[in-house]
Amino acid sequence: MKWLVLVHVLSAIIGIGPTYAFLIILRKNQSATELKFSLRMGRILELFPKILGTLAVVTGLILVFVGEYGAFTQLWLLGSLILFIIIQVIVVAIGPRWIKSLTAWVEVPANQSFLTLPAPQASQLSKALGSARLASLIGLVLFIFMIMKPT
């Protein structure tokens, strides 16, 4: 059981942790070349929430069913699962929509000479940053739920 808890906690931390990196690597005032590098880093980092975040949910559910954590309907337990699902939707479905468009734009060689992003791309970057901020905030609440276990 301790090993399962260890895998659960580490996969949750490592899985959700990179969500906070998006706030650093996706800056508003980037050149097209900097944005291209940031987007490449983001593609690597997004694997962590997808893979390890999913492992955290699976191990968490196993812990609930085999452990003595009480009813599944507890606020901290059900709330944590719902928050995680929301984070996954943001990280896997909403955020990549803006990132995909930005990546297509920045991969065009003629666009790499821009020192500041044109308005449409700046708007897309702003929306991607908004998604990252929301996922990070929800992740913080998720960690609070998991640690404090409010009833």
pLDDT tens digits, residue range 64-118? 888 877 777 888 888 888 998 898 888 878 888 888 889 999 999 999 888 899 9
Looking at residue 20, what is its pLDDT? 86
Sequence-separated (6 or more) residues with CB below 8 Å from residue 30:
38, 117, 125
Decide if pLDDT at 120 tops 90: yes
Instruction: Say how far apart CA 41 and CA 27 lie, in whole Å.
Output: 13
Looking at residue 106, what is its pLDDT? 92
Looking at residue 80, what is its pLDDT? 87
pTM: 0.83
Distances in whole angstroms, Cα of residue 120 to Cα of each of 7, 23, 105, 126, 139: 42, 20, 10, 10, 29
As given in the structure block, the two tokens for residue 53 are: 């975040």
> How confident is the model over 126-149, as a mean pLDDT?
89
Looking at residue 70, what is its pLDDT? 74
Instruction: Say how far apart CA 46 and CA 23 lie, in whole Å.
Output: 13
Decide if pLDDT at 132 tops 80: yes
DSSP 117-147: --HHHHHHHHHHHHHHHHHHHHHHHHHHHHH
Query: One-letter amino acid identity for 28?
Result: K
As given in the structure block, the two tokens for residue 9 are: 């906690």
